[in-house]
């Protein structure tokens, strides 16, 4: 690998001043979408064409890479991110640390939050650059400050689970997982649900976020819910109807990974927890436009 790609990247590494958040209480959750660079219609059409082709079981990997490269030249940030991964793994292209770095550098120049996350991974693994855990940590926090969900999940796992027990910081973990969930990604919903269940024992909210993950097409989350209601975990009552709903949804999602249920919380309202009720959530059985604080009843009013 030549040094040409490394020179501007070194400038980026030396030129940015990044500070870790002093504490989770000072962490302000920013929505990633407010930092995303604009995408042209032409670039997006190329990207979507590549994604459609890539999802086919048997596809031309070189053609997919070529489409991503075309979209990347038009500064499509998602195409740049996917392209960097393909260069790193040699998918439809020869493996190239130089191209991986150049593509990641362009993401950062555009201000795309995921560029900082990608750079953190590169530094962590020493791919084409000197292995640098401290630098990786700084860029991971930079990405998190911009609302990048992968980095938020990484930090949540670090503070909540990966450190020795006496060093774990639940306040930081909760803040990072919660911010990740506010980005509305499937994995973030799932990890926040896990944290609410394990780290905070807030079961109604946990089941709610599992449900949102199911609505985004995650079969694994549907299995979690089916299990909760089939055996009565976390003091929930055994509920055959809920069990069948989520077993069925798990089967449907596995058969059709593109299945999405945006209205899942109103289509399949979850029952209250026997002790915690609905926690901080409103009763899903109450219609949003209803003036009543109680569920609709089929009984006649006197």
User: Tens digit of pLDDT for each residue in 4-40?
Assistant: 333 334 434 434 444 444 444 578 999 999 999 999 9
pLDDT value, residue 52: 95
Nearest residue to 123 (alpha-carbon basis) of 115, 79, 113: 115
Kindly state the average pLDDT of the residues 111-132.
95
- Residue 273 carries which DSSP code? B
pLDDT value, residue 59: 93
pLDDT value, residue 26: 75
pLDDT value, residue 289: 62
What average pLDDT does the structure give for the chain? 89
pLDDT value, residue 286: 83
In 10 A of CB 156, how many CB atoms? Answer: 28
Query: Does residue 186 register a pLDDT over 80?
Result: yes
- DSSP-assigned states of every residue in 231-243: HTGGGPPP-HHHH
Kindly state the average pLDDT of the residues 41-59.
95
Give the C-alpha separation, 187 to 190, whole Å: 5
The architecture CATH gives domain 28-146 = Alpha Horseshoe (1.25)
Give the C-alpha separation, 128 to 99, whole Å: 10
Kindly state the average pLDDT of the residues 290-301.
45
pLDDT value, residue 47: 98
CATH number of 148-281: 1.25.40.10
pLDDT value, residue 92: 93
pLDDT confidence bin for 223, thresholds 50/70/90: very high
pLDDT confidence bin for 288, thresholds 50/70/90: low
The residues, ordered by sequence, that sit 6+ positions from 46 with a Cβ below 8 Å of its Cβ are 67, 68, 70, 71, 74, 76, 79
**Chain Cα centroid distance, residue 154:** 10
pLDDT confidence bin for 296, thresholds 50/70/90: very low
pLDDT value, residue 302: 35
* Residue 116 falls in which region: left (phi positive, over 0), alpha (psi -120 to 50) or beta: alpha
CATH 1.25.40.10 domain extents, the chain: 28-146, 148-281
Kindly state the average pLDDT of the residues 190-209.
98
């Amino acid at each position: 690998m030549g040094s040409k790609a490394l020179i501007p990247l070194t400038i980026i590494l030396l030129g940015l001043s990044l500070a870790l958040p002093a504490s989770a209480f000072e962490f302000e959750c920013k929505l990633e979408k407010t930092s995303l660079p604009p995408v042209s219609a032409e670039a997006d059409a190329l990207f979507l064409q590549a994604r459609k082709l890539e999802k086919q079981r048997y596809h031309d990997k070189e053609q997919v890479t070529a489409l991503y490269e075309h979209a990347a030249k038009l500064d499509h940030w998602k195409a740049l991110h996917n392209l960097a991964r393909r260069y790193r793994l040699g998918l439809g292209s020869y493996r190239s640390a130089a191209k991986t770095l150049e593509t990641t550098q362009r993401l950062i120049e555009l201000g795309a939050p995921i560029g900082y996350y990608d750079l953190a991974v590169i530094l962590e693994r020493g791919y084409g650059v000197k292995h640098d855990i401290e630098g990786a940590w700084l860029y991971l926090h930079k990405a998190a400050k911009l609302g990048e969900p992968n980095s938020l999940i990484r930090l949540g796992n670090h503070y909540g689970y990966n450190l020795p027990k006496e060093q774990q910081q639940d306040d930081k973990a909760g803040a990072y997982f919660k911010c990740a969930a506010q980005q509305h990604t499937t994995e973030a919903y799932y990890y926040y649900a896990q944290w609410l269940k394990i780290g905070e024992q807030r079961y109604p909210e946990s089941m709610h976020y599992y449900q949102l993950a199911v609505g985004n097409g995650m079969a694994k989350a549907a299995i979690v819910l089916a299990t909760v209601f089939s055996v009565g975990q976390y003091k929930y009552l055994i509920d055959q109807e809920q069990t069948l709903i989520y077993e069925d949804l798990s089967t449907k999602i596995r058969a059709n990974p593109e299945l999405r249920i945006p209205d899942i919380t109103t289509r399949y309202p979850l029952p209250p927890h026997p002790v915690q009720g609905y926690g901080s959530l409103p009763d899903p059985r109450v219609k949003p436009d209803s003036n009543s604080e109680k569920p609709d009843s089929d009984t006649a009013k006197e």
